Amino acid sequence: MAKISYREALNQALREEMRRDSSIIVIGEEVAYYEGAYKVTQGLLAEFGDKRVKDTPISEEVIVGAAIGAAMGGIRPVAELMTINFALLAMDQIVNNAAKIHFMFAGQSFVPMVIRAAQGSGKQLGAQHSQQLEAYFMHCPGIRVVAPSTPMDAKGLLKTAIRDDNPVMFLEGQGLYSLEGEVPPGDYTIPLGKANIVREGSDITFISYLAMVPECLEAAKELSDRGIEAEVIDLRTLNPLDKATVFESVKKTGLALVANEAWKTGSAGAEIAALIMENCFDYLDAPVIRISATDTPMPYNRQLERAALPHKEDIINAVNNLLKVAIPQ
């Protein structure tokens, strides 16, 4: 398998799908001539022309609204929002239109569209450009929510999202674009709603997605050196959520830790922790632990920003404290 970056994997997915299906278009701010803020749409304008790769005005409500109308009319648009923070300007279109049209039209109309957006912190972009908003969309019925952490998953899941007849929020890790990994040659897809056990273990289950998956793997590696074997689950999609894989793992290990970069209060991690408590309570040796960002607007200062974000050290410390509860000395 070739080793390519996360951004290249996304680019391959878009290019291959556009070759396969002429109804697919890409729209958004600077996706054409500038080739995308993160260069994910590089080369698409040259190959497919300005009728299928279109720069838009600086208006997220217009971008998403145009994509909804196009999707209802038989086109499969991929709309790029420069960052997930700008999705807040299009929440009416996303939540009240994209998510609901199929149901309000009694199933007679479909909205097969993808909204791609980068999210994440750690690059000193300030409070308004450093947010993780997956919980907003996970909370809303009618929207698929995808969050890949590897190049292989990014390509396979984007292809699946484009082919899906439902609106999909496709969230990309802002700090993952340069991450390299092996990607299979040729056409392949990864089903939505199927988590991936990226590391097997017997002592505790780590559940995560996007940028916290590498942190969980690093923490698991260090814990393994001390005889503690953590099983790491990469959720990959948040809606649909692969509850079965999570529950089976937690019932096996008896301990669970949910890690994400978003604020702790009301996060996707809170929902996952609640599901584990509701469905695996009799198997748990201690309460579910959540590792999240501090509930504060993201500081600009580099040291304060790092302090506000979760890291592998937080996971390791939490496991040490958890084992004291689960296995009293």
- 129 a catalytic residue: yes
CATH topology of domain 196-324: Rossmann fold (3.40.50)
Q: What is the mean pLDDT of residues 91-113?
A: 96
pTM equals 0.96
Residue in 17, 80, 102, 129 annotated catalytic: 129
Angle between helices 212-224 and 312-326 (to 10 degrees): 50
Residue in 8, 17, 60, 172 annotated catalytic: 60
The structure tokens 């190959």 sit at 47
In this structure, what is the dihedral angle of CA atoms 86, 212, 37, 125, given to the nearest 10 degrees? 60
- The token duo for 168 is 């999909």
The full set of domain ranges for the chain reads 2-183, 196-324
Q: What is the mean pLDDT of residues 67-94?
A: 97
Percent of the chain whose predicted confidence (pLDDT) is above 90: 94
* Two domains, one topology: 2-183 and 196-324: yes
How many Å from the N-terminal Cα to the C-terminal Cα in the chain? 47
pLDDT digits (tens, 9 = 90+) for 232-244: 999 999 999 999 9
CATH hierarchy code of domain 2-183:
3.40.50.970
Angle between helices 6-20 and 151-163 (to 10 degrees): 30
- 139 a catalytic residue: no
pLDDT digits (tens, 9 = 90+) for 7-41: 999 999 999 999 999 999 999 999 999 999 999 99
Give the whole-angstrom CA distance, residue 169 versus residue 161: 9
Hey, what long-range contacts does 32-36 have (CB within 8 A, 24 or more apart)?
A: 36/80
The helix/strand/coil state of 118 is strand
Residue 326 above 90 pLDDT?
A: no
Give the whole-angstrom CA distance, residue 80 versus residue 114: 8
Percent of the chain whose predicted confidence (pLDDT) is above 70: 99
Q: Residue 329 has what pLDDT?
A: 56
The helix/strand/coil state of 228 is coil
Q: Residue 324 has what pLDDT?
A: 80
Q: What is the mean pLDDT of residues 164-186?
A: 95
